[in-house]
Structure 1
Amino acid sequence: MKNNKFNTLNDKEWLRLTGIKKSTFNKMLDILQVAEIEKFKKGGKTNKLSLENRLLMTLSYWQEYQTYFHLGKNFGISEANCYRNIKWIEDILIKNSDFQQLAGKKSTNKWLF
């Protein structure tokens, strides 16, 4: 991950921040990277946020129940873009057999890996 302030977190701090282990985060990131490559084969604009930050934003939304408005302000994007990014990540992860249990879940606490 490019953001150094998150690289310095130990495993326990990472779990407290995101609600998931680093290995689960990396697994999610791998799935999303493949999906993003497929998405851009059809064309389109690159996203303002890195994939890592979009996943962190989604995990923050699941963990803390912040509004899209607040998340958008924290990550420097509009409320609508925040919603679209989180919805896309949720849809991609739910389609994967490893994360199908996300469908209907409101908290990451129930599916810690």
Structure 2
Amino acid sequence: MTDQTYADRVKDANDEQFRRIVGIKRTTFQAMVELVDEDYRQVHQRRGRRSKLDPEAKVLITLDYLRNYGTFLELSFKYGVSETTARTIVERVENVLVRSGKFSLPNRNELRNAPERPMTFLIDATDTIIQRPKKNSGRTTQANATDTPSKRK
């Protein structure tokens, strides 16, 4: 067993494996890392404790969360941080990337007015059997409220 962390193994993967694991190209990943690193340096210029994780690991945690939508407990085990730290990292990196304006999804109007509208249909064709009592079944016994014994005697 090697002493490399999960983040180190992902960073050392070739470009094709990296894209398959992370979900984005390495060039896009590097652009995200630069934004996160720049923001971290600005915030921690004069104060604050240094982070145990490098910017690459922070972006990997965020992308892992967004792609797999695992729990923060899973992320904390995978990257060796606490659940709270994993949540904080995901929130901060998301905010940095959204504020940059470079990594945002198109809004509803942009998708609606696009020349090539994505056509995606999802049909749920699963058949679920629900057991319900049959009407006028002879098995059920109906009783009036007056027929039931009362405790007030």
TM over 0.5: yes
- Structure 1 segments, 4+ long, off by >6 Å, are none
Q: Which has the higher contact order (CA 8 A, sep 6+)?
A: 1
Residue deviations 1:19-78 (CA, integer Å, cap 9, x gap): 100000000011111101111125111112111111111111111111001101111111
Contact 1:19 1:63 in 2 (8 A): yes
Which has the larger Rg? 2
1:79 aligns with 2:83: yes
Cα distance change on mapping 1:54 and 1:67 into 2, 3 Å: same
Aligned-residue RMSD, C-alpha = 1.9
Structure number with higher helix proportion: 1
TM-score for the superposition, normalised by structure 2: 0.60
- State the identity as a percent: 26
Instruction: Please state whether the residue corresponding to 1:26 is helix, strand or coil.
Output: helix
Contact 1:15 1:21 in 2 (8 A): yes
1:96 aligns with 2:94: no
Residue 10 of structure 1, CA deviation = 2.2
Gaps of 5+ in 1: 104-113
CA distance in 2, matches of 1:4, 1:74: 12
